[in-house]
Amino acid sequence: MMTQDEVTKVLSDVELVPCAEMALADARRLVEACLEADVPALVHREACAKPGCSPKFQVLVRPEDGLRVATLLQQRWMDSIQREGVLADGASPFALPATEDGEPPCPACGTVAPLVAGACADCGLQLE
């Protein structure tokens, strides 16, 4: 696990990008998970000029670490789904249910129709 001193040193002179915006407690938990995965990350308060705006915090990382953080977030989400027991064993949360005629809905637009040359008949998303 990276220490705060190591993070400060690694991120001192590099470009940082926000990978998530959330409440402070959630941002701190995400940064902790990033550090456990050896991904340097910081919590940054996002300034909001709107009256009555609740405080928002960003998790900042190097651009090249964005995919690692996305993978980490997805794994944490999958872990929470499994902990809660909301899926049948072996089921995928990404699988879309098929209709009565066996055609799955398009993941982009929701159209239920046979594919045209491997693409959604409505939006054209290539699915095969």
**Nearest by Cα to 1 from 30, 34, 25, 26:** 34
One domain for residues 17 and 59: yes
For residue 42, is pLDDT > 90?
Answer: yes
One domain for residues 80 and 103: no
- What is the tally of structural domains in the chain? 2
CB within 8 Å of 55: residues ≥ 6 apart:
24, 45, 46, 48
One domain for residues 103 and 43: no
The tokens describing 48, both together, are 């909001």
Q: What is d(CA 49, CA 44) in angstroms, rounded to the nearest whole number?
A: 16
Predicted confidence band of residue 30 (pLDDT cuts 50, 70, 90): very high
pLDDT digits (tens, 9 = 90+) for 5-27: 888 888 888 999 999 999 899 99
Q: What pTM was estimated for this model as a whole? A: 0.64
Q: What is the CATH number of the domain that holds 67?
A: 3.30.70
* Structural domain boundaries enclosing 44: 4-84
**91 located within any domain:** no
pLDDT score for 65: 94
pLDDT score for 80: 85
**89 located within any domain:** no
Q: Edge-to-edge strands of the sheet including 56-61?
A: 17-22, 56-61, 42-46
35-47 average pLDDT score: 89
pLDDT digits (tens, 9 = 90+) for 52-93: 777 789 999 999 999 999 989 988 888 888 888 776 665 666
One domain for residues 75 and 101: no
**Picking from 62-71, 89-98, 108-117, which range would have the lowest pLDDT averaged per residue?**
89-98
